[in-house]
Structure 1
Amino acid sequence: MCRNIKTLFNFDPPATDDEIRASALQFVRKLSGFTRPSQANAAAFDKAVDEVTAAARTLIASLSTTAAPRDRGIEAEKARVRSRVRYGRA
Structure 2
Amino acid sequence: MTDAAARRIVVAMCRSIHTLHNFEPAATSDEVHAAALQYVRKIAGTTKPSKANQEAFDRAVAAIEHATQHLLDDLVTSAPPKNREEEAAKARERAIKSGRYAAA
**TM-score for both structures, normalised by structure 1:** 0.94
Residue aligning to 1:10: 22
Matched, 1:21 2:29: no
**2:102 match:** 89
Matches within 5 A, 1:41-52: 41-52=53-64
* More strand per residue: 1
Q: CA deviation at 1:41?
A: 0.2
Q: Whole-Å Cα distance in 1 between the matches of residues 57 and 46 of structure 2?
A: 9
Tell me the C-alpha RMSD between the 2 structures: 1.1
Displacement of 1:89? 2.2
Runs of at least 5 residues in structure 2 that lack an aligned partner in the other structure: 1-9
Residue 89 of structure 2 is aligned to residue 80 of structure 1: no
Q: Which runs of 5+ in 1 are unaligned?
A: none
Q: Indicate whether 1:67 and 2:85 are aligned.
A: no
1:16-68 deviation per Cα after TM superposition (whole angstroms, max 9, x unaligned): 10000000001111111121100000000001101100000000000000010
Give me the identity figure in percent.
Answer: 48
Distance 2:93 2:44 in 1: 32
Question: 1: CA distance between counterparts of 2:102 and 2:36?
Answer: 30
Matched positions, count:
90
For 1:10, the aligned partner's letter is: N
Greater RCO, CA 8 A, separation 6+: 1
